[in-house]
Amino acid sequence: MEKLTNKDFSSDQEVRWCPGCGDYAILRAMQKSLPLLNRKKEDFIFISGIGCSSRFPYYMDTYGFHSIHGRAPAFATGMKLANPNLSVWQITGDGDALAIGGNHFIHALRRNIDINILLFNNEIYGLTKGQFSPTSKKGIKTKSNPHGTTDEPFSPSDLSLGAKSSFFARVVDTNPKLMQKIFVEAEAHKGTSLIEILQNCVIFNDKTFSSITGKEVKKDAQLILEHGKPILYGDTMNKGIVLNKFKLETVIIGENGITIDDILVHDAYEQDSTLHAMLARMRPPEFPAALGVIRSVKRSTFDSDMNSQIDYEKRNAKFNNVNELLFSGDTWNV
Amino acid sequence: MNNSKVVDLEKVVIKFAGDSGDGMQLTGTQFTDTSALLGNDLATFPDYPAEIRAPQGTVAGVSGFQIHIGRIDINTPGDIADVLVAMNPAALKANKNFIKKGGSIIVNIDSFNQRDFDKAGYEKSPLEDNSFEGYNIIEAPITKLTRETLKDSKLDGKSIGRAKNMFALGIVYWMFNRPMQQTESFLKAKFKKSPELVEANIKVMHAGYNFADTIEALSSSYTVLSAKLPKGTYRNVMGNQAMSWGFLAAAENAKKELFLGSYPITPASDILHELAKHKNLGVKTFQAEDEIAGICSAIGASFCGSLAITTTSGPGLALKGEAIGLAIMTELPLVVVDVQRGGPSTGLPTKTEQSDLMQALYGRNGESPAVVLASSTPANCFDWAYQASKITLEHNTPVILLSDGYLGNGAEPWKIKSTNDMPKINPNVAKEEDNYFPYARDKKTFSRKIAIPGTKGLEHRLGGLEKEDITGNVSYDPENHEKMCKIRSEKINRLSNIIPEQKIYGKESGNLLVVGWGGTFGSLYSAVGALLKDDNSVGLCHFNYINPLPSNTKEILSKFKRIVVCELNAGQFANYLRMNFQGFVFEQYNKLQGFPFTSIELEAHFKSLLSK
């Protein structure tokens, strides 16, 4: 197979996001990740709905489809079912996936169709110029709610784990290396891989994630999970997470008799999603925010189940072509 | 065979009516299949309530199945019944205006008690006043005799009660000299796992047959000999089934996989059910989470190389509007089937209507022309599904195919076609070596070539934003937008160069042109046929191509003194013709009752127009 580089995935279209937008970093990380996947260029397809993030497919030199608001999971499902050999990437935002497209989003996760979903979560509507979104923090003032929102926000992790998501990862737009690593793992996972990207909107919701991504706080505010490893964070990795009476707690190794053996070991493969949900819910200042692959479990996929049914029916077919069907059953001759 | 005198009839209309739990649809279907195998021409009309089990014994809960059989050409399920089977007083009341004067009515007399009169809204037995004087009333104790027949059976009371429809079927089989073998084999297959049920149902059917013979239900029994149909192999088909098979045939001949994205909705769901059965032919059916996901998954599959379809009824078409617009903008193949029902809103889900025409033509944002076709008989749903697929794959533009509840649930004999005899389908797809521009087009047809993901070197992006001519890049250029709007419209118009000319049945010119479209064909054809027998100056112009209209439409219109447009809506096709052909006077004949036209009402109306 010919060796591909990031340049092979860069289209001739001018990128039109605002200067400083977090989307640029995600685009670059994606263009660098695809050559690592050992697949033919023509087998990638990017599908999006509507919103700032949904312009993404235009900038990728792959097959692409910029569809309608909220419906990308349905298009992606049709694509994967029509051609199971394709590597299907859905690009969506918090409004596209969780407001207008909430229904399709949960059903894709429930079915576990083998696609990858990148959820660009900036907690705001960008393309329609600054209204609050289903993930906006309660009380923020926007044009469409100048007195502060009265909406309780969704937690994307709780919503998707509730919908039986088999793969959930989180990353920040300021960490391109981690993004690449997660994109590669997402593609390897069989089933719907959901990646929540905390992405900064410089125009309408700047620094909404600064408590996680801020340079001065990030060492203590970010925790990168790795399967099979103790859950540690901090400048010298001397802090960790323990489970105490059904609740997570932060501890410091060496204080109050805590040793490395007391620290929780991350098990992304555990079918029970309870602990995954608890880890995903952690937020500063009480906790660091969990990043990396939080959940990755084996579950049969919708597309492979459908294809095995078709294979079985073909092998045990009463009819092998349409004519045999048309002339079957009760017929009579004139 | 029964031993009484047998009278040969040209045609007969029979209606089975009872509670929605009485099994009348099954009874009717069995009589249909038996008659079809005997070589009758036929047409059927199931009419059932929207509720699965509507309140028992009420008029609203009556489920009916009408069948018209003949040894002559049959085009409608018949206006009024020669024979009515009424399983309870409500069934009699619901059908009292649809029985021929002097016709036979078989009533389940066990259900004619005060409790059931109350439920049906009768003060006392309608059989005891003069309401049905002049009719041949056959009082059959169906419930009692069914129980008596099965008194030694191990079945529970409920299952025994359910078998009574077979008693009614046995009576009607005797009346029309039909053999019972076909139904016997059907029952054996249906209740394969329960030999007691097979035995019980067969026993009850025979009991009904023997009962009719013993009481000599009629002074003579009747037969309807086989019809003189063109040579060939026949089968009985329902519209939704024929539609499904048309798509299967098209996919096979186009060498495409068939993909259906759909959400259950009455009366279209049977297409999903039928196609879901045929995974062995490689069909992929996807029951989506909603109507929108149904069409969007189909568009996704179309982009990736499938023959993609979505099926729905009126309210679902409304939900799919935005996505149809996307398929128009991206110029991808897609067939959207609308099996129309009574509207607006939820309307009359189980009744028929033709009121989605304007929605199909114009129900989208922006200038968004789509090809619109309409099937016109249960059997030709096959041909129109095939033709819709051919057009969409060869021209890469979405096609909306209109059927309706009457066609979808109706049945008739179909002369089976071999897939080898159908027109070739050549999908318009770019190959690897082409110098590919997504929006470059054929000079004659204006259609673009699609490139399918997985094809090396043809990577490109599609979407709902306006496309630059030739390159397909996003473009906000004002001149380009106007140009593209015109191109999308002209692409549809140019199809009129390819589709066949419109045909006329009856007189080629004269006093009255009857115009119809879609599912009303049978009744219009029968009514015009009757007038032609009396040598009236009348022609029938019945449309299947709605957008674009056939190129000779104007010429046909100009050959008649009067034009009457008949449709099951308030005049949507008439208005469409007014818009396209100014200078003509289009009179209207409309009906909005959830039922098809009767040929009697049409004939009477046309006669009045001809005499003025």
B66 and B17 housed in the same domain: yes
Full DSSP string of A153-219: PP-HHHHHHHTT-SEEEEEETT-HHHHHHHHHHHHHSSS-EEEEEE---TTTSTTTTHHHH-TTTHH
Which of B248, B296, B464 shows the shortest C-beta gap to A322? Answer: B248
Cβ atoms within 10 Å, residue B434: 14
The answer to whether B356 touches B338, Cβ cutoff 8 Å, is yes
B587: helix, strand or coil:
strand
pLDDT of residue A334: 84
Interstrand relation of B461-463 and A63-66 (parallel, antiparallel or unpaired): parallel
Q: Tell me the helices (H) and strands (E) count for chain B, helix number first.
A: 20, 23
The answer to whether B572 touches B578, Cβ cutoff 8 Å, is no
Whether B319 maps to a domain, the answer reads: yes
Which amino acid, residue B486?
Answer: K
Whether A236 maps to a domain, the answer reads: no
Whether A299 maps to a domain, the answer reads: yes
Nearest-CA residue of chain B relative to A106?
Answer: B289
Shortest Cα–Cα distance, B109 to chain A (Å): 35
Report the alpha-carbon distance of residue B453 to residue B568 in Å, rounded. 43
The CATH code of the domain that includes B404 is: 3.40.50.970
Whether A74 maps to a domain, the answer reads: yes
pLDDT of residue B1: 46
B382 and B527 housed in the same domain: no
Give the global pTM: 0.94
Whether B54 maps to a domain, the answer reads: yes
pLDDT tens for each residue of B336-374: 999 999 999 999 999 999 999 999 999 999 999 999 999
Report the alpha-carbon distance of residue B527 to residue B607 in Å, rounded. 10
B561 and B414 housed in the same domain: no
pLDDT of residue B334: 98
Shortest Cα–Cα distance, A45 to chain B (Å): 7
- Among B189, B205, B224, residue at a domain's last position: B224
Shortest Cα–Cα distance, B304 to chain A (Å): 6
Match 């128009």 to its residue by tokens: B328
B414: helix, strand or coil:
strand
Q: Which residues contact B26 (CB under 8 A, 6 or more apart)?
A: B165
The answer to whether A77 touches B264, Cβ cutoff 8 Å, is no
Provide the phi-psi class of B197: left if phi over 0, else alpha when psi is between -120 and 50, else beta.
alpha
A330/B37 Cβ within 8 A = yes
The answer to whether B586 touches B578, Cβ cutoff 8 Å, is yes
Tokens read off for B595: 């039922």
Question: pLDDT class for B597, splitting at 50, 70, 90?
Answer: very high
B248/A325 Cβ within 8 A = yes
pLDDT of residue B421: 96
Taking CA atoms, B266 is separated from B6, B43, B276, B315, in Å, by 41, 21, 16, 10
Nearest-CA residue of chain A relative to B280?
Answer: A314
- Examine the pLDDT at B247 and tell me if it is beyond 70: yes
Report the alpha-carbon distance of residue B161 to residue B146 in Å, rounded. 7
B99 and B133 housed in the same domain: yes
Question: pLDDT class for A235, splitting at 50, 70, 90?
Answer: very high
pLDDT tens for each residue of B86-104: 999 999 999 999 999 889 9
Q: Taking chain A, what is the end-to-end CA distance rounded to the nearest angstrom?
A: 60
- Best to test chain B binding among A91, A301, A330, A333 (most B CBs inside 10 Å): A330
Q: Please tell me whether the peptide bond between B267 and the residue prior to it is cis, using omega within 30 degrees of 0.
A: yes
Give phi and psi for B111, each to the nearest 5.
Answer: -95, 0
The reply to whether A306 touches chain B by the CB within 8 Å rule is yes
Number of domains chain B is built from = 3
- Examine the pLDDT at B424 and tell me if it is beyond 80: yes
Q: Which residues contact B80 (CB under 8 A, 6 or more apart)?
A: B13, B98, B99, B100, B103, B598, B600
Shortest Cα–Cα distance, A92 to chain B (Å): 15
**Residue ranges of the alpha helices (H) in B447-598?**
478-493, 521-533, 553-557, 572-580
Shortest Cα–Cα distance, A133 to chain B (Å): 22
Q: What is the mean pLDDT of residues A57-76?
A: 98
- Examine the pLDDT at A269 and tell me if it is beyond 80: yes
Whether B402 maps to a domain, the answer reads: yes
- Examine the pLDDT at B5 and tell me if it is beyond 80: no
Give phi and psi for B51, each to the nearest 5.
Answer: -85, 145
CA-CA-CA-CA torsion sign (B588, B594, B598, B601):
negative
Question: pLDDT class for A124, splitting at 50, 70, 90?
Answer: very high
Which of A41, A74, A331 shows the shortest C-beta gap to B300? Answer: A74
* Bridge partner residues of B450 (DSSP): B429
B153 and B241 housed in the same domain: no
The reply to whether A9 touches chain B by the CB within 8 Å rule is no
Q: What is the mean pLDDT of residues A254-271?
A: 97
- Among B421, B444, B466, residue at a domain's last position: B421
Interstrand relation of B461-463 and B258-262 (parallel, antiparallel or unpaired): unpaired
Sheet with strand B510-517: strands edge to edge: B505-506, B538-543, B510-517, B560-567, B586-590
pLDDT of residue B249: 98
Report the alpha-carbon distance of residue A316 to residue A309 in Å, rounded. 11
Shortest Cα–Cα distance, B136 to chain A (Å): 34
List CB contacts (< 8 A) between B460 and chain A.
63-64
pLDDT tens for each residue of B267-306: 999 999 999 999 999 999 999 999 999 999 999 999 999 9
Whether B440 maps to a domain, the answer reads: no
List CB contacts (< 8 A) between B415 and chain A.
334
Report the alpha-carbon distance of residue B404 to residue B239 in Å, rounded. 9
A86/B420 Cβ within 8 A = no
- Best to test chain A binding among B252, B295, B297 (most A CBs inside 10 Å): B297
A65/B462 Cβ within 8 A = yes
- Among B362, B387, B421, residue at a domain's last position: B421
Report the alpha-carbon distance of residue A46 to residue A87 in Å, rounded. 9
Average pLDDT over chain B, rounded to whole?
95
- Best to test chain A binding among B281, B287, B468 (most A CBs inside 10 Å): B281
Whether A84 maps to a domain, the answer reads: yes
Question: pLDDT class for A330, splitting at 50, 70, 90?
Answer: confident
pLDDT-above-70 percentage for chain B: 99
Whether A140 maps to a domain, the answer reads: yes
The answer to whether B205 touches B173, Cβ cutoff 8 Å, is yes
Q: Which residues contact A27 (CB under 8 A, 6 or more apart)?
A: A15, A56, A59, A60
The CATH code of the domain that includes B158 is: 3.40.920.10
Q: Which residues contact B444 (CB under 8 A, 6 or more apart)?
A: B494
List CB contacts (< 8 A) between A77 and chain B.
286, 288, 293, 297, 300
Which of B226, B286, B304 shows the shortest C-beta gap to A83? Answer: B304
pLDDT of residue B102: 87
Nearest-CA residue of chain A relative to B418?
Answer: A323
pLDDT-above-90 percentage for chain A: 96
Whether A277 maps to a domain, the answer reads: no
Interstrand relation of B41-47 and A289-296 (parallel, antiparallel or unpaired): unpaired
Which of A58, A78, A319 shows the shortest C-beta gap to B297? Answer: A78
Report the alpha-carbon distance of residue B13 to residue B10 in Å, rounded. 11
Report the alpha-carbon distance of residue B521 to residue B175 in Å, rounded. 31
B229/A334 Cβ within 8 A = yes
Whether B467 maps to a domain, the answer reads: no
Q: Which of B6, B38, B416, B31 shows the shortest CA–CA distance to B227?
A: B38
Match 């008649």 to its residue by tokens: B560
- Examine the pLDDT at B3 and tell me if it is beyond 70: no
Sheet with strand B545-547: strands edge to edge: B284-287, B258-262, B307-312, B335-340, B399-404, B371-374, B545-547
Whether A312 maps to a domain, the answer reads: no
A329/B248 Cβ within 8 A = no
**Structural domain of B396:** 235-421
The reply to whether A330 touches chain B by the CB within 8 Å rule is yes
- Best to test chain A binding among B258, B303, B307, B460 (most A CBs inside 10 Å): B303
Number of domains chain A is built from = 1
pLDDT of residue B219: 67
Q: Which of residues 48-107 of A touch B (CB under 8 A)?
A: 50, 57-58, 60-68, 71, 73-79, 81-83, 85-86, 103-104, 107
B210 and B258 housed in the same domain: no
Average pLDDT over chain A, rounded to whole?
96
CA atoms within 13 A on the CB side of A227: 14
The CATH code of the domain that includes A42 is: 3.40.50.970
Report the alpha-carbon distance of residue A188 to residue A88 in Å, rounded. 12
Report the alpha-carbon distance of residue B104 to residue A43 in Å, rounded. 68
Which of B231, B280, B455 shows the shortest C-beta gap to A334? Answer: B231
B336 and B382 housed in the same domain: yes
Taking CA atoms, A216 is separated from A13, A234, A235, in Å, by 36, 12, 11
B305/A83 Cβ within 8 A = yes
Whether B598 maps to a domain, the answer reads: yes
Full DSSP string of A20-32: T-THHHHHHHHHH
User: What length is written for chain B?
Assistant: 612
Which of B245, B257, B288 shows the shortest C-beta gap to A326? Answer: B245
List CB contacts (< 8 A) between B183 and chain A.
none
B180 and B61 housed in the same domain: yes
pLDDT of residue B225: 85
- Examine the pLDDT at B2 and tell me if it is beyond 60: no
Tokens read off for A149: 């929102």
Question: pLDDT class for B4, splitting at 50, 70, 90?
Answer: low
Question: pLDDT class for B20, splitting at 50, 70, 90?
Answer: confident
Which of A62, A83, A331 shows the shortest C-beta gap to B234? Answer: A331
Whether A244 maps to a domain, the answer reads: no
The answer to whether B123 touches B92, Cβ cutoff 8 Å, is no
Whether B229 maps to a domain, the answer reads: no
- The residue ranges of DSSP E strands in B216-305, in sequence order, are 221-224, 233-238, 258-262, 284-287
Q: Which of B51, B147, B47, B45 shows the shortest CA–CA distance to B91?
A: B47
**Structural domain of A48:** 6-222+292-303
Which of A82, A309, A317 shows the shortest C-beta gap to B304? Answer: A82
Instruction: Please list the helix, strand and coil fractions of chain B in percent, rounded to the nearest 5, in that order.
Output: 40, 25, 35
B175 and B263 housed in the same domain: no
Question: pLDDT class for B418, splitting at 50, 70, 90?
Answer: very high
Residue B511 CA from chain centroid, whole number: 31
- Best to test chain A binding among B289, B419, B421, B425 (most A CBs inside 10 Å): B289
B459/A42 Cβ within 8 A = yes
The CATH code of the domain that includes B597 is: 3.40.50.920
Report the alpha-carbon distance of residue B442 to residue A195 in Å, rounded. 42
